[in-house]
Structure 1
Amino acid sequence: MLADLFDTPLSPTHAAQFSPLALAFIGDAVYELLARGQVLAGGSAPVGKLHHRTVGFVRADAQAQAAHVLLPLLDEAEIAVLRRGRNANTAHVAKHADPIDYRYATGLEALFGYLYLTGRTDRLRQLFALIIKEKEAAAGTT
């Protein structure tokens, strides 16, 4: 089964059978890998600085903001996955995260997990590029 997750994309129906927190579990890794790739694309730096820049992408408040940016651009199936993740009953909230931000961050991670498992890597890259564009616009570096 594990090899199948990496060798063959799942059908949307099969991927939707995972709990939203399981989707968020894999989506967290996918999102962090995209963030790390983006940080490295900015040039080499000491590992501490790379980590600090990556945290700027993966903090709950940054992910929640990204979810709000993407929501109007998602199709119905993607919105449904994000909402399932957002509404999932999480066991805890990170101590430095607003509970609402944490829920939206979980929703975003669930969406990224779902897209990854269904083999929609082009869509993943497209959505992440929109997040980068918005982040750069907010920083005034377009």
Structure 2
Amino acid sequence: MAERAHLYNPLTLAYLGDALLDLHVRTHVIMRLKAKPNTLHRATTFYVSAKSQAQTFDALVAESYFTEAEYDVLMRGRNAKSHTKAKNTDVLTYKKSTALEAVIGYLKLAGEDDRLQHLLERIVELCEEREPK
């Protein structure tokens, strides 16, 4: 199953990864804040913005978090030629966030559910470390 997941276009993996990260973060924020939707949306945006994802990308690479296969997907995601334009951010930030999302999508399609859950939890931890008090 992992071999087939590796064959997907990194932008397709990122498409799936974006949805998975968003769902994980929304669930986390709802459980943590128990607030109104507008407050929940603002909190979620802090975690899933391209800027935040790029910072998380840098932190995870610095701590050598990724396996060799995951790192390969990460680099393919970062180097993928996207035909959409980055909104509200620079190209490098957008590429790093796409790379992180690609790994998330890859882990899901590879059936690596435990590793995926660990990565999603680590992403939340890193965001919370950066969260303004």
TM-score normalised to the size of structure 2? 0.91
Is this contact kept in 1: 2:2–2:111, CA < 8 A?
no
The two structures, once aligned, show a CA RMSD in angstroms of 1.4
- 2:119 is paired with a residue whose SS is helix
Q: Give the alignment partner of residue 45 of structure 1, picking from 24, 31, 35.
A: 35
Structure 1 ranges of 4+ moved more than 4 A: none
Percent identity over the alignment is 38
In the alignment, does 2:90 pair up with 1:122? Answer: no
Residue 105 of structure 1 is matched in structure 2 by 97
> How many equivalent residue pairs?
131
Check if 1:135 corresponds to 2:120.
no
Structure 1 residues 118 and 29: alpha-carbon distance in aligned structure 2, compared to 1, 3 A threshold: same
Is the CA contact (8 Å cut-off) linking 1:69 and 1:131 kept in structure 2? no
The one-letter code matched in structure 2 to 1:25 is Y
Q: Distance in 2 between matches of 1:126 and 1:32?
A: 15
Distance in 2 of aligned mates of 1:120 and 1:13: 12
- Report the Cα offset of residue 41 of structure 1: 1.8
Query: How far 1:93 sits from its partner (Å)?
Result: 2.6
SS at match of 2:33: coil
Contact kept? 2:52, 2:127, Cα under 8 Å: no
Tell me whether 1:85 sits opposite 2:74 in the alignment: no
Q: Secondary structure at the match of 2:56?
A: helix
Quote the offset at 1:70 in angstroms.
1.7
Separation (CA, whole Å) in 2 of partners of 1:140 and 1:62 = 13
1:66 aligns with 2:56: yes
Gap regions ≥5 residues in structure 2:
none
TM-score by length of structure 1 reads 0.86
User: Counterpart of 2:14?
Assistant: 24
Question: Which structure's CA Rg is the greater one?
Answer: 1
Any unmatched runs of 5+ in structure 1? Answer: 1-10
Q: Which deviations, in whole Å up to 9, do the C-alpha atoms of 1:104-125 show, x marking residues without a partner?
A: 0000010000001112121112
